[in-house]
Amino acid sequence: MNVLVVDVGGTSVKLWHTAHEEHRKFSSGKTLTPEKMLTEIKELAHDWNWECVALGLPCRVSGGRPVEDPTNLGPGWVGFNFAAGFGQPVRIMNDAALQALGSYNGGRMLFLGLGTAVGSAYIAHQIIISLDLGRLQYDGKPLFELLGDAGFEELGPKKWQSLVQEVIPGLKSAMMVAYVVLGGGSIKKIDELPDAVRRGHNRTVVEGGRKLWEELPDPTDKHEEVWKIF
């Protein structure tokens, strides 16, 4: 099955394909609506062929549908008919959950995506839970302000990396996971990782998209109990 994987972030939209090594991207931001996204995708990936789409959105997704507009994007995502827009079947997950799914190799795992903000997801025993750990307070500020791009610019490389070393082991212990996977554009800024923490790669979202279509049930099917997606 050829899957187009669309990873929507606050600063860019990355396009991946299960049959191609390369990826393509375009800028996102506060003016990006679903209609604009589709126009960009059709122009940028005009020479790719796919049978279905795995769409990762930076917002809450329930039952395979977004239930709020992403904070860093334009309006119109809730209720939009993505299948009609693409002209192909579409399955949707929270973007961090989609990357987590591609990074998962058993046990209890916490995924943290460090980029424009902080994405997070938890997987264990065929349960996938999208989280919002960026809202947790640390030293009087939410983690998304400290560990996201704005925090890196404010703190500088050395202090920001020290904060990563302080915060992530605590999250690992609090979530009672065996390991943590770090994804997102900021992982290249980290020189050393805490114990039981490994780097992910943006391409793991391709494996997540493949699993979403080939191994997981349709998230809109309320009667399927093989995997539970929250």
Sketch the domain layout of the chain as residue ranges: 3-97, 106-199
The string of pLDDT tens digits covering residues 28-38 is: 999 999 999 99
Buried b (16+ CB within 10 A) or exposed e, 43-68: eebeebebebbbbbbbbebeebbbee
Residue 222's pLDDT band, with cuts at 50, 70 and 90, is low
CA 101 to CA 230: how far, in whole Å? Answer: 13
The string of pLDDT tens digits covering residues 145-192 is: 999 999 999 999 999 999 999 999 999 999 999 999 999 889 999 999
Residue 93 has pLDDT above 90, yes or no: yes
Residue 224's pLDDT band, with cuts at 50, 70 and 90, is low
> Of 100, 154, 104, 169, which Cα lies nearest the Cα of 131?
100
What pLDDT was estimated at residue 226? Answer: 57
CA 44 to CA 175: how far, in whole Å? Answer: 39
As a whole number, mean pLDDT of residues 72-83 equals: 96
CATH architecture designation of domain 3-97: 2-Layer Sandwich (3.30)
What pLDDT was estimated at residue 18? Answer: 96
What pLDDT was estimated at residue 126? Answer: 86
Phi-psi group of 176: left, alpha or beta (phi > 0 → left; psi -120 to 50 → alpha; rest → beta):
left
Residue 91 has pLDDT above 90, yes or no: yes
Structure tokens at 222: 């309320």
Top CATH class of 106-199 equals: alpha beta
What pLDDT was estimated at residue 217? Answer: 82
**Which SS3 state, helix, strand or coil, does residue 158 take?**
helix
What pLDDT was estimated at residue 202? Answer: 75
The residues, ordered by sequence, that sit 6+ positions from 143 with a Cβ below 8 Å of its Cβ are 118, 133, 134, 135, 136, 137, 167
